[in-house]
Amino acid sequence: MAPSRLARPVAVRVARHFVYAIIQFLLMTLADLAGIVPSATAQSLGNSDPTYQALRNLTLGQESVSVNNVDLKRDAATFHLRSGTVCFVAPAAGKVTGAVFTGEGTLVLSAPPTERSMLKLLTKEDEFSETFSQMALRFTDSTYDDLKKAGTAASGNCDAGPLKESQRTTRHDLKNNLEARILQDVLNSEPGGLFMAFIRGRRYNDKELLAIDPNIGGEQVQFITYSESKSGIWASFPLSDARSRDQAGTRVSIDHQQLDTKIESNAELTGRATTTFVSRFNGTRVVPFDLFPTLRVQSVTADGASLPFIQEDKNEDADFAVILPKALAAGQLYTLTTTYGGKDAVKNEGNGNYYPVSRMNWFPNNSGVEFGEFSSYDMTFHIPKGMKMVATGELVSESNDGGHNITVWKSEAPQTVAGFNFGKFKLQEAKLANPQYLVQSFANQDPPSWVQSLKQAASGDDLPTDGLHTGAAVALGTMNTTLLNKKALAEGELAIQLYTEYFGPPLFKHLQITQQSACNFGQAWPGLVWIPICYYFDTTVRHQLGLDLADRGYWTVVTPHEVAHQWWGHTVGFSSYRDQWMSEGFSDMSASLYLTVADKNPQRYVDFWNDERSLLIDRNAQGFRAIDAGPVTMGYRLSNSRTGSTSRGGSSIPKVHTYCTCYA
Ligand SMILES: [Zn+2]
């Protein structure tokens, strides 16, 4: 486990909506895909809705039109169909949701000025213009009517290949359930606005996708390529029409979550979530949720009745969605209960160490809201006896029952997200008077198995033969993490007091600092932070693990940086990746303030900012400088195959602290 733990990719994102799924796919192609074994999981209660099944098994129908010099304009994209045939798919619930074009066509993309420089960089031309002879379209907007009106009835047959390929792509590669998305609009009582073109481009790439989806917040228009060798986001921007933009965004916002979660000693999780949400628009009938793919839904109920739901195979397009008995009006509240369970959302790392793999979607969370939505939470956790649970919110009660430790938690204030960490923890705590605040620090009593194996390797018992740190002699330093627990606590106390003085009180009245078995990143949730286990090692051990990073001061500021996210990220949220740089930037700025009081040597503060500067202007192994990659508002998009900044180069990875060593 050691190599994967040490080399855990920093930029792991969660598939939430189509564009988010695309991002996930793009990142997946950069990661190690080995070990994903397809399996056919039967869903006895899910996926049975007849309209959904009709969409899932969609083929070309009988209807086709000939087109000559037809322009199809969709936001910034203009398709010119010079000549050819359009064959439509068979209707589902009376609606035609797709077509295949064969002939001669061009696509011109007039992206807004903010995206033009990126496009120009990629195409080396002033105007983005692609030519194609085949394309599959999926839509719930007026495309069927528009093309029928513009063309003349024909009897030609079309090759169904592009349609089949688009179905294969969304299911197996992008892992996004396009049929579930289309079902949202087909069953909605209001007209839909989805438009997707899978283009076999001739000039740039034969796997191009133009996607327009009004049901997501932020940026509804994207142009991407998704071939194995060349995948990336070429352009991403909001709908250009202001009225359409007003109607865009997630269909619901979640008001309250009541989560009852049980985790067994083998880390298997079972949950029961009672979710109350409000419909943001008229006509909402299908509600998508973000749920970790291996957590399999057993049932969804509302008002005592079972509701149909969708969740495909865990290794494919496993997006979870619920079909309501009837459409909701704008502002209408609705409550449903989901039961689910499975492995891999949490991992047992040995010796009382558990790793929460899923951070945002271990329960049915809203899909595609980043940190821009605030909800309240009531949570109950059942974990193996002897383990200690640490979660977001205030601890209401703790008891033991039948071999389980049971804790109840309640959010002190609406939260952007909810999460937990648990293990065989030792606790150190301090009560602050000004501000009135409880700071707690939790470290594991024993190291996880991967650290144990390093220790054994050092003593010559059992040399691991794979990975970067084969046989590293790490027995010299101490690996007892509880010794540094006091240090983490002291850093947390000082940071809370200092930041309160500078920025005012945060939303939450307590902070729990916890050790996690991942080595090289930290993360912050409301009232809960995860600190990488390697922070708790002494400098000798870190040196032997090749994790010095000391010259960049990472280990000195990881705790104050994560604590600062209580203000930047969770008191002030962000609804788009475009704004995440502020959350990271303010947290880094806060950490530098921390250095001025924690360390009497003023040089530390100067060193910190010198390090930040060199991270921007030093060249990486590919010769790129972070400062040249693009504006900070491009966020994670700055790391791509062009800048080489996603290569696994360890400390040579340039970062602009938009998408840094922590997610929030
Ligand atoms: Zn951060």
What is the spatial distance between Cα 373 and Cα 526, in angstroms, rounded to a whole number? 13
Going from the Cα of 662 to the center of ligand 1, the distance in angstroms, rounded, reads 4
Q: For strands 320-328 and 309-310, give the pairing.
A: antiparallel
The average confidence (pLDDT) of the chain is 84
The answer to whether residue 439 scores a pLDDT higher than 70 is yes
What number is the average pLDDT over the span 379-406?
Answer: 96
Going from the Cα of 563 to the center of ligand 1, the distance in angstroms, rounded, reads 9
Classify burial at 234, counting beta carbons within 10 Å of its beta carbon; exposed 0-12, middle 13-18, buried 19 or more.
buried
HEC-encoded secondary structure of 373-426:
CCEEEEEEEEEECCCEEEECCEEEEEEEECCEEEEEEECCCCECCCCEEEECEE
For residue 552, the model assigns a pLDDT of 62
The distance of Cα 2 from the centroid of its chain, to the nearest Å, equals 24
pLDDT band of 29, cuts 50, 70, 90: very low
pLDDT digits (tens, 9 = 90+) for 87-121: 999 999 999 999 999 999 999 999 998 888 888 88
For residue 18, the model assigns a pLDDT of 43
Going from the Cα of 580 to the center of ligand 1, the distance in angstroms, rounded, reads 9
Q: Which CATH number is correct for 2-10+428-652, 2.40.10, 1.10.20, 1.10.390, 3.30.70?
A: 1.10.390
What is the spatial distance between Cα 567 and Cα 594, in angstroms, rounded to a whole number? 14
The answer to whether residue 36 scores a pLDDT higher than 60 is no
Going from the Cα of 523 to the center of ligand 1, the distance in angstroms, rounded, reads 7
Residues measured by CB to lie within 5 Å of ligand 1, the ion: 584, 587, 662
Beta bridge partners of 429: 440
The distance of Cα 166 from the centroid of its chain, to the nearest Å, equals 23
For residue 435, the model assigns a pLDDT of 86
Going from the Cα of 633 to the center of ligand 1, the distance in angstroms, rounded, reads 16
pLDDT band of 16, cuts 50, 70, 90: very low
pLDDT digits (tens, 9 = 90+) for 468-486: 333 344 443 556 677 788 9
pLDDT digits (tens, 9 = 90+) for 620-649: 777 878 777 777 777 767 665 554 433 222
What is the spatial distance between Cα 656 and Cα 3, in angstroms, rounded to a whole number? 25
Going from the Cα of 582 to the center of ligand 1, the distance in angstroms, rounded, reads 10
- Range in 152-161, 578-587, 612-621 the model is least confident about: 612-621
- Range in 24-28, 30-34, 38-42 the model is least confident about: 30-34
What number is the average pLDDT over the span 127-149?
Answer: 97
Going from the Cα of 569 to the center of ligand 1, the distance in angstroms, rounded, reads 9
Cα–Cα separations (whole angstroms), residue 183 to 53, 142, 288: 10, 16, 11
Going from the Cα of 657 to the center of ligand 1, the distance in angstroms, rounded, reads 8
Going from the Cα of 528 to the center of ligand 1, the distance in angstroms, rounded, reads 13
Going from the Cα of 547 to the center of ligand 1, the distance in angstroms, rounded, reads 19
Going from the Cα of 121 to the center of ligand 1, the distance in angstroms, rounded, reads 29
CB 109 within 8 A of CB 77: yes
Going from the Cα of 325 to the center of ligand 1, the distance in angstroms, rounded, reads 42
pLDDT digits (tens, 9 = 90+) for 286-327: 999 999 999 999 999 999 999 999 999 999 999 999 999 999
The answer to whether residue 31 scores a pLDDT higher than 70 is no
Place of tokens 């620090």: 441
Q: For strands 394-401 and 404-410, give the pairing.
A: antiparallel
Edge to edge, the sheet with strand 320-328 lists 309-310, 320-328, 284-290, 365-366
CB 269 within 8 A of CB 262: yes
Going from the Cα of 490 to the center of ligand 1, the distance in angstroms, rounded, reads 20
Both structure tokens of 321: 């969605």
Instruction: Look at 9 and 326; give whichever has higher pLDDT.
Output: 326
For residue 464, the model assigns a pLDDT of 40
Q: Helix, strand, coil: what percent of the chain each, to 5?
A: 25, 35, 40
pLDDT digits (tens, 9 = 90+) for 215-267: 998 899 999 999 887 888 899 999 999 989 889 999 999 999 999 999 999 99
For residue 446, the model assigns a pLDDT of 87
Going from the Cα of 558 to the center of ligand 1, the distance in angstroms, rounded, reads 9
Percent of the chain with pLDDT over 70: 84
Going from the Cα of 504 to the center of ligand 1, the distance in angstroms, rounded, reads 20
CB 405 within 8 A of CB 385: yes
Place of tokens 């327009």: 212
Instruction: Look at 487 and 15; give whichever has higher pLDDT.
Output: 487
Going from the Cα of 334 to the center of ligand 1, the distance in angstroms, rounded, reads 35
pLDDT band of 467, cuts 50, 70, 90: very low
Going from the Cα of 391 to the center of ligand 1, the distance in angstroms, rounded, reads 19
pLDDT band of 458, cuts 50, 70, 90: low
Going from the Cα of 470 to the center of ligand 1, the distance in angstroms, rounded, reads 30
The answer to whether residue 14 scores a pLDDT higher than 50 is no
Instruction: Look at 265 and 41; give whichever has higher pLDDT.
Output: 265
Going from the Cα of 471 to the center of ligand 1, the distance in angstroms, rounded, reads 32
Domain 251-418: assigned CATH number: 2.60.40.1730
pLDDT band of 534, cuts 50, 70, 90: confident
For residue 627, the model assigns a pLDDT of 79
What is the spatial distance between Cα 277 and Cα 256, in angstroms, rounded to a whole number? 7
Nearest to 371 by CA among 593, 194, 187, 526: 526
pLDDT digits (tens, 9 = 90+) for 560-604: 999 999 999 888 888 788 888 888 899 999 999 999 999 888 888
Percent of the chain with pLDDT over 90: 61
Is the N-terminal amide bond of 435 cis, ω within 30° of 0? yes
Going from the Cα of 661 to the center of ligand 1, the distance in angstroms, rounded, reads 6
What is the spatial distance between Cα 584 and Cα 140, in angstroms, rounded to a whole number? 38
Going from the Cα of 488 to the center of ligand 1, the distance in angstroms, rounded, reads 17
Place of tokens 């009245």: 509
Nearest to 290 by CA among 380, 378, 205, 360: 360
pLDDT band of 531, cuts 50, 70, 90: very high
Phi, psi angles (nearest 5°) of residue 239 = -55, 140
Going from the Cα of 422 to the center of ligand 1, the distance in angstroms, rounded, reads 22
Domain parsing of the chain, residue ranges = 2-10+428-652, 50-246, 251-418
Q: For strands 510-516 and 437-444, give the pairing.
A: parallel
